[in-house]
C-alpha cells in the first residue's frame, strides 16, 4: 500500500480500492509510443518490362523508416511466379551499399532478410524477372504485394 494511502479517509480509501489506477506506487511495465520494437508495412504496386527492355516500376516509392537491425521482405502476392527486388537507402545513388542488393529473385510466398545498411529511410523496389537485358521483351504490368518487417 502507498504511504499516502494510510492517511486517507475512509471515503477516499473506498474510491482508491474501487479505482486502483489512482494510486500507483511503483513496479510494472508499459510500452512507450516510441518503442523501437519491430514494425510491419505492406506495399502493393505494379511493375513491368518497358518497350526498350528496361525495368519499370509503375508504382510510387515504397519507403519505410527503419532502425538498426534486420529487415525481412516477403513477396506475399504477385501475378508472376517470382519478382526481382532491392532494398536500398533512399539516398543511395549507385546501389553499391544496399540492404538487399538489386535484382535478388524472390518467389511468391518466400522471404529474404538482411541487415539495414545506408540509412534509416529505406525503399523497396520490385521488377519483373529478366528486365534490363538488351533482348528483354516488353511485358504487361505485373501486380504484387510485399510485406516488410523492420526494426523501429
Using a cut of 0.85, tell me whether the model's pTM lies above it: no
Q: Residue 120 burial by CB count (10 A; 0-12/13-18/19+): exposed, middle or buried?
A: middle
DSSP letters spanning 17-71: HH-GGG---S------TT---EEEEEEEEEEEE-TTS-EEE-S--EEEE--SSEE
DSSP letter at 97 equals S
Q: Are 146 and 75 in contact (CB under 8 A)?
A: yes
Distance from C-alpha of 78 to C-alpha of 105, rounded to nearest angstrom:
13
Give the whole-angstrom CA distance, residue 62 versus residue 41. Answer: 9
Write down all domains in the chain, each with its CATH number in brackets.
Answer: 38-151 (2.60.120.380)
Contact 84, 131 (CB under 8 A): yes
Check residue 14 and report its DSSP letter: H
Tens of pLDDT, residue by residue, the chain (152 residues): 444 444 433 443 333 334 344 333 333 333 334 556 799 999 999 999 998 889 999 998 899 999 999 999 999 999 999 999 999 999 988 888 899 999 999 999 999 999 999 999 999 999 999 888 878 899 999 999 999 999 98
Q: Tell me the C-alpha to C-alpha distance, in Å, between residue 125 and each of 14, 40, 46.
A: 60, 16, 10
The residue written with cell numbers 516509392 in the block is 61
Amino acid at each position: 500500500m502507498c504511504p499516502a494511502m494510510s492517511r486517507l479517509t475512509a471515503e477516499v480509501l473506498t474510491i482508491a480500492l474501487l479505482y486502483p489506477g489512482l494510486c500507483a506506487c511503483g513496479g510494472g511495465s508499459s510500452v512507450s509510443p516510441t518503442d523501437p520494437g519491430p514494425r510491419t508495412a505492406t506495399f502493393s504496386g505494379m511493375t513491368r518490362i518497358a518497350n526498350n527492355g528496361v525495368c519499370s516500376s509503375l508504382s510510387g516509392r515504397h519507403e519505410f523508416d527503419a532502425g538498426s537491425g534486420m529487415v525481412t521482405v516477403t513477396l506475399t502476392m504477385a501475378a508472376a511466379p517470382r519478382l526481382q527486388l532491392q532494398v536500398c537507402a533512399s539516398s543511395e545513388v549507385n546501389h553499391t551499399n544496399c540492404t538487399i542488393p538489386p535484382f535478388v529473385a524472390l518467389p511468391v510466398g518466400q522471404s529474404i532478410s538482411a541487415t539495414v545498411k545506408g540509412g534509416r529511410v529505406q525503399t523497396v523496389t520490385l521488377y519483373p524477372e529478366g528486365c534490363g537485358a538488351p533482348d528483354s521483351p516488353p511485358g504487361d504490368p505485373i501486380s504484387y504485394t510485399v510485406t516488410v518487417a523492420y526494426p523501429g
